């Protein structure tokens, strides 16, 4: 938890993390920079309760590309948003 907190609150740590995330992704290992997928849920999604219900609520509230892109910023300026980079890797043809 402390490592996730440092990487989210300290700009230098967040910047230093990007090459590691990129290297892992290049090996087919996709790691979310914020930690858990729940950290990417849109505002207004309950933070307590059953995980499947919260996930369904989050999915129902993301109904277009703009809402999906707003869920994660780019890891670095000039790049696509983080979730777009991850999904591109997940669905990349080998």
pLDDT digits (tens, 9 = 90+) for 43-91: 999 999 999 999 999 999 999 999 999 999 999 999 999 999 999 998 8
Evaluate whether 83 touches 73 at the Cβ level (below 8 Å). no
Q: How many domains does the chain have?
A: 1
* Residue 26 CB contacts under 8 Å (≥ 6 apart), including other chains: none
List 74's β-bridge partners, or say none. Answer: 81
Q: Which domain holds residue 49?
A: 2-90
User: How far is residue 79 from each of residues 5, 10, 25, measured CA to CA in Å?
Assistant: 23, 20, 15
Q: CA–CA separation, 29 vs 15, rounded Å?
A: 19
Higher pLDDT, 41 or 9: 41
pLDDT digits (tens, 9 = 90+) for 7-31: 778 888 888 999 999 999 999 899 9
Q: In 3-state terms, what secondary structure has residue 74? A: strand
């Amino acid at each position: 938890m402390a490592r996730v907190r440092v990487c989210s609150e300290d700009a230098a740590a967040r910047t230093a993390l990007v090459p590691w995330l990129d290297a892992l992704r290049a090996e087919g290992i996709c790691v979310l920079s914020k930690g858990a997928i729940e950290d990417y849920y849109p505002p207004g999604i309950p933070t307590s309760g059953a995980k499947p219900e919260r996930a369904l609520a989050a999915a129902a509230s993301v109904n277009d590309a703009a809402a999906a892109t707003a869920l994660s910023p780019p890891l670095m300026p000039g790049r696509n948003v983080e979730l777009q980079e991850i999904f591109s890797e997940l669905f990349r043809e080998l």
